[in-house]
Amino acid sequence: MDDSEDLEYNEEDYYTFLNLSKDASSEEINTAYRNFSRIYHPDKHTDVSQKQKAEILFNRVKKAYEVLSDPHQRAIYDNLGKKGLEIEGWEIVHKTKTPAEIREEYERLAKEREERRLQQKTNPRGNITVQINATDIFSSYEDEFNEKVFPTIEVSGMSMSQSIEAPLTRTDTGTLSGNLNLSNGVGSGGFTFSGRRLVNKGWFEVDAGAGNGPVLGIKSARNLSNRIFCNGGVTVNYRQHTILPGLVGTLAVQLDRHTVGYLTYNAGIQSSMSTVVEHNDEKQHYNINATLGIPHCYISAVYIRKFVEQEMKLRLAVKAGTFGYTGEYGVEKKVSKYSSVVATVSIGVPTGVILKIKIIRSSQTYLFPIHLSEEIIPAAIFYSTVTPLIAYFVIKKIIIEPMNAEQKQRNIDKVKEQNKVRLAEKRKEAESAISLMSALYKRILGEEQKKNGLIIIRAFYGKFDNDDDASAVIEDEMGFLENNPNIIDVKIPLQCLTKDSCLILQSSSKYELPGFYDTCVGEEKHLKIDYRYQNSSYSIIVNDKDSVRLPQIGNSTT
């Protein structure tokens, strides 16, 4: 059920490379450019090999500065990233090196474009509903000899529907849909073809289908103003010895930015008039419905609370009318990029207790209404509430999390293999950057030592195998690095970023900083710094994307 997103190796982050925040001012950008130019400008180095290393890094500094100092380019970069600055179609040439990599990237992009094109053309949608009767579980089940027998659980009905769309012209779209229904051994079905044309301020549609007799229909929608719109339709169902007409119309008014009111009239075998007020914003969604009709009249209310960070929604609903009353509560949880699971408990008269399990997979929906009891039984309510929660956590622990971890590891391995050459270049570039920092490092270290300022004793970046490695005081640095290939020494780069006894790192991945590189793509990384300030020693450990500001007085290790 997992749809783990493919990991990408982010080749360049201009803000992080210059150690700037996303809202850095023009003055801060200019200052960063001047500081890094003093280190990497080729004219600052006389040795031929050093000059070549400096040219590569200075070009990166210059490119980052050119983009961030230009308001237009910076706006594009902030919204679309580096790819937004490149010419579409040639971006794969800039990002790859060998012919094999170019061909592989081209084939991947072509396949993705074809899949998106097919999805956009057909827009397939489907629904499958399986009705399950499990009322024997909570009712008395004794045979004629007063001996208890195992409760019977049966599938009482099933329905399926599917539709596909095909754009015929820029303004015309054809839709083919069909459905099958089976209940208590009796089946039925039908299909419908619809042709829709976009017109000024609206659309109109012609439908033709067959099922329980031929069906013809016309629908249309139109915007009457910026805040008012309407739609309606007429259908004619030709059955044996009779013709059944139908009419439906809706008038909608935008009450405010997040609220819409609807007035709907439906004339036919079951006529009704309903009023709905619906509100939808980032945190909540609710609607109130009042319906007068034949054979039933009712009022209903639905409230949905959205928890965006947890990717979860809580739902409460009540409905009461001439048919009886019903209350519902449930939760929807997103389990992957394209999949969600919904569990709802319905309690009412005369329906009893029903547990509804829904699985949403992209544009496909699978619904399983499980009828637990025909009356309101506390045991049925309890188990219908607790069982889905226990099942979810068990399935998540046993199936979903291992699948996600396995998929993530496959993606990591795939990215590592695809970017092996690039990662080797980044490592070489980081080593070159440290080599070019040697003079600056000695100067800054000397200045900080004279005033008992901020002195970086040790600094390591990468994936620590356990908490002991991260928190331990490391004396044998060379031995530690040899035993931990996913960790690099970043003491010199951090000391060179120190200014006036202060070190500031922005809240972004540190591997884009000069002298850093990503030792383990896609995996969790930390930055460990042991430093001395005013003759006291300190140690900190931060997550990769956390901001850093040293000194932090109060965590002395001496």
d(CA 538, CA 536): 7
Interval 376-411: pLDDT, tens: 999 999 999 999 999 988 988 888 888 888 887 787
| Distance in Å from the first CA to the final CA of the chain | 51
In the chain, DSSP finds a helix count (H) and a strand count (E) of: 13, 23
- b/e map of 232-259 (b: 16 or more CB within 10 Å)? bbebebeeeeeeeebebebebbeeeeee
Amino acid at 526: H
Q: How many residues does the chain have?
A: 558
- Residue 92: what pLDDT? 40
CB 434 within 8 A of CB 492: yes
Q: Does CATH place domain 13-95 in 1.10.287.110?
A: yes
C-alpha 489: how far from its chain's center?
A: 34
CB 174 within 8 A of CB 160: no
Q: Return left, alpha or beta for 379; rule: phi > 0 is left, psi -120 to 50 is alpha, else beta.
A: alpha
Domain ranges within the chain, ordered by starting residue = 13-95, 412-557
pLDDT means per 10 residues in the chain (558 residues)? 45 85 91 90 84 88 91 81 58 46 60 60 81 84 56 88 87 92 85 92 93 92 92 92 92 93 91 94 94 92 93 95 94 87 94 94 91 92 92 87 82 73 85 91 93 94 73 67 87 93 91 89 87 92 92 61
> Which of 531, 519, 464, 525 has its CA nearest to residue 494?
531
Amino acid at 200: N
- Residue 194: what pLDDT? 94
pTM, two decimal places: 0.60
Most distant CA atoms of the chain, gap in Å: 105
C-alpha 545: how far from its chain's center?
A: 19
d(CA 544, CA 278): 43
CB 509 within 8 A of CB 16: yes
* Location of structure tokens 């300022």: 453
